[in-house]
């Protein structure tokens, strides 16, 4: 299967965090791709008020993508038409 390319868009994986030292550290860590952008993933195992288990997730852009995102959303100055009829 060498040389074969796979489309990894909108996929990811989480692995048990063997380096967890504090309760605030994630239980699971990994990476994923959302709409073509790469993210670091973190997951915490939690319980709701009824005792049902769930996983809370966090997504952080991988290096270099934060700058690209801010460039896409940078402020653009648009001249306003001061001749509004009221």
pLDDT at residue 82 greater than cutoff 80: no
pLDDT in tens, 8-34: 999 999 999 999 999 999 999 999 999
The backbone torsions φ and ψ at residue 66, rounded to the nearest 5 degrees and listed phi first, read -65, -40
The pLDDT of residue 70 is above 80: no
* Positive or negative torsion for Cα 7, 12, 40, 69: positive
Query: Where does residue 26 rank: exposed (0-12), middle (13-18), buried (19+ CB within 10 A)?
Result: buried
Higher pLDDT, residue 72 or 49: 49
Q: How far is CA 85 from CA 74, 79, 81, 82, in A?
A: 31, 17, 11, 9
Q: Taking residues 68-76, what's their average pLDDT?
A: 51
Over 70: is that where the pLDDT of 1 sits? no
Strand 12-16 with 53-61, pairing: unpaired
Give the residue, 83 or 58, on which the prediction is more confident: 58
């Amino acid at each position: 299967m060498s040389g074969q390319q796979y489309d990894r868009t909108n996929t990811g994986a989480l692995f048990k965090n063997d380096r967890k030292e504090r309760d605030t550290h994630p239980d699971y860590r990994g990476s994923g791709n959302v709409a073509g952008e790469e993210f670091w993933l973190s997951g915490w195992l939690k319980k709701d008020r009824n005792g049902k288990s769930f996983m809370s997730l966090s997504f952080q852009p991988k290096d270099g993508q934060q700058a690209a995102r801010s460039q896409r959303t940078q402020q653009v100055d648009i001249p306003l038409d001061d001749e509004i009829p009221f």
